[in-house]
Amino acid sequence: MNFTLKSKDQNSKARSGLIKTDHGVIQTPIFMPVGTAGTVKSVSQKDLEDQVNAQIILGNTYHLYLRPGLNLLEQIGGIHKFISWKKPILTDSGGYQVYSLSGRRKITEEGVKFKSHIDGSSHFFTPENVMDIQKSIGADIIMAFDECTPYPCDYSYAKSSTQMTHRWLKRCVDSFNNTPNKYNYSQFLFPIVQGSTYSDLRNQSAEVIASFDLPGNAIGGLSVGEPHDLMYKHTEEVCDILPESKPRYLMGVGTPSNLLECIALGVDMFDCVMPTRNARNGMLFTSEGFINIKNKKWENDFSEIDSNGTSYVDKRYSKSYLRHLFISKEMLGPQIASIHNLSFYIWLVEESRKKIEDGTFTAWKNKMVKKLVERL
């Protein structure tokens, strides 16, 4: 993998760049639609390519390991062939999903024993076998196995957890380097900064993670319930430590305004379920604010869904029709809303990239963040 820094904003820490993988080039800043189980919910791969203009999508190790399983994925030649996706894919390690199974898992130094949410069967994840699992899945970028601490979290637990994440990282790297790839393309390992909401732990973790000199670095354990100002504070602290020459990936973030604020702090990559999850509940994000399309105020509004939108659904369908689909519980409603929201998120990072490169990012960002939080 090769990362090229293209431009830097003069009034913030925002930057644009290019990540080269064997499945294609990713322009940064970038948002990655979440395709947890091999699908971005309610959006076809064709629409992801042609309408959303997604450059890379996310899969999840925990879910793909349980279903469809590694034997099937290896049989066809990896996740790209299985889901008919020719562009880059990133897989999360499953650490966050195991963290969310708080009543169904046990963490030890060796790894995590957990019970499947599907059938209650017992499984054991270690740093080593999570590397093997992700090599079998076959994503271009794979994540180290870490422990994501809850919020709030007391200092002593956060410290011991972060130190264990660092020990697990060493095991991940050793395993990754000493086992062959299963397919005829390169895979790249990203480590994850932890440390809860404690600056000293976050900074120490960033220094340890940077010392491994891996192709990119991720920031985890944020956007788990902490106030936005804390998220911004720790993101900025960590970005100041992580090397400028490597892409920085803020995991699980966030709202449109979160993306802009964190791009300004030096983040290059984002993922979040928010655009699709909120879409399925009738919330639309636009450049002028957000809409709850199920509200009665849209019943007789025959205007386009979003006159500034970039996908075909924005111009083809009216707000009134989309509201009707949601009120009638028709499947097409969440599909249209998901395509719209993902297209908007991709437009937002693409526009950020353009503004960084023409030197107007900060002024534009300051105007946009005020509009994005307005309820229409």
pLDDT in tens, 17-51: 999 999 999 999 999 999 999 999 999 999 999 99
pLDDT in tens, 100-155: 777 788 999 999 999 998 999 999 999 999 999 999 999 999 999 999 888 999 99
Cα(356)–Cα(375) distance, rounded to whole angstroms? 27
Active-site residue identified among 92, 146, 268, 306: 92
Exposed, middle or buried by CB within 10 Å (0-12, 13-18, 19+), for 329?
A: exposed
Residue 271 catalytic?
yes
CB–CB of 88/140 below 8 Å?
yes
Query: Which tokens hold the place of 30?
Result: 């970038």
Q: Which CATH code fits 2-271?
A: 3.20.20.105
CB–CB of 232/262 below 8 Å?
yes
Active-site residue identified among 47, 271, 306, 314: 271
Q: Which residues pair with 266 in a beta bridge?
A: none
This prediction's pTM: 0.97
Q: What is the dihedral of CA 255, 242, 153, 34, to 10 degrees?
A: 40
- Phi (first) and psi of residue 317, to 5 degrees: -115, 155
Helix (H, G, I), strand (E, B) or coil at 36: coil
* Residue type present at position 315: K
